[in-house]
C-alpha cells in the first residue's frame, strides 16, 4: 500500500530533521521546546509566565521549569515590573539573542541542504502536495475535536 509507505517515509523525514536540529541545539544545552519558548518570548516582548503558559497550552509549573532552565543557561532574565514589583517580565539576554540568531542562520542553510538537487518546478509540486496533506490532516483534527 503506497499510502502507508509514503506516510512512513514522511515520518522518517520528520525524525531525521528533528535529530539534525537537536544535535545542533545539544551544543547549547537546549531542546527544541526551549528554543520554541525563547522564540515566543522574543516575539512577545515583556510577556510573563502566565501568558506563556496560556500561549503554549502548558501548565504554569511546566513553563516555570523551562524558564528556570533558560535562566541557568543565561539565555533569559526576569525583570520586575515597575508598577508591581511582585510580577516580572521575561527578557532574552544578549547570549540568548545570539543563540536564536545563530540557529536561524543554521536553519536557513539546513533547508537549502535538504532541498539540494530539486528543481524549482519539483519544489513547487512538492509544496502543493504538502499543502494538500496538511489540509487533510487539518480536516482529521477538526473531526476529532467535534467528537
> For residues 85 and 106, what is the distance between their CA atoms, to the nearest angstrom?
38
Of the chain, the percentage scoring pLDDT greater than 70 comes to 97
pLDDT tens column, 48-94? 888 888 888 899 899 999 999 999 999 999 887 677 666 778 889 99
Q: Which of 113, 137, 85, 83 lies closest to 17 in space, CA to CA?
A: 113
Cell reading at 60 = 504554569
Answer yes or no: are the C-beta atoms of 76 and 41 closer than 8 Å.
yes
As a whole number of Å, the CA-based R_g of the chain is 19
> For residues 147 and 141, what is the distance between their CA atoms, to the nearest angstrom?
10
pTM: 0.77
Amino acid at each position: 500500500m503506497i499510502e502507508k509507505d509514503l506516510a512512513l517515509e514522511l515520518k522518517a523525514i520528520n525524525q531525521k530533521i528533528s535529530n539534525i536540529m537537536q544535535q545542533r541545539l545539544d551544543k547549547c544545552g537546549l531542546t527544541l521546546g526551549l528554543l520554541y519558548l525563547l522564540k515566543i518570548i522574543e516575539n512577545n516582548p515583556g510577556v510573563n509566565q502566565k501568558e506563556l503558559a496560556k500561549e503554549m497550552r502548558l501548565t504554569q509549573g511546566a513553563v516555570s521549569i523551562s524558564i528556570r532552565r533558560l535562566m541557568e543557561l543565561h539565555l533569559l532574565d526576569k525583570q520586575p515590573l515597575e508598577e508591581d514589583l511582585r510580577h516580572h517580565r521575561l527578557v532574552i539576554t544578549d547570549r540568548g539573542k545570539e543563540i536564536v540568531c545563530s540557529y536561524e542562520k543554521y536553519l536557513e542553510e539546513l533547508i537549502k541542504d535538504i532541498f539540494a538537487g530539486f528543481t524549482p518546478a519539483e519544489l513547487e509540486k512538492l509544496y502543493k502536495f504538502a499543502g494538500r496533506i496538511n489540509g487533510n490532516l487539518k480536516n482529521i483534527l477538526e473531526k476529532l475535536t467535534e467528537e
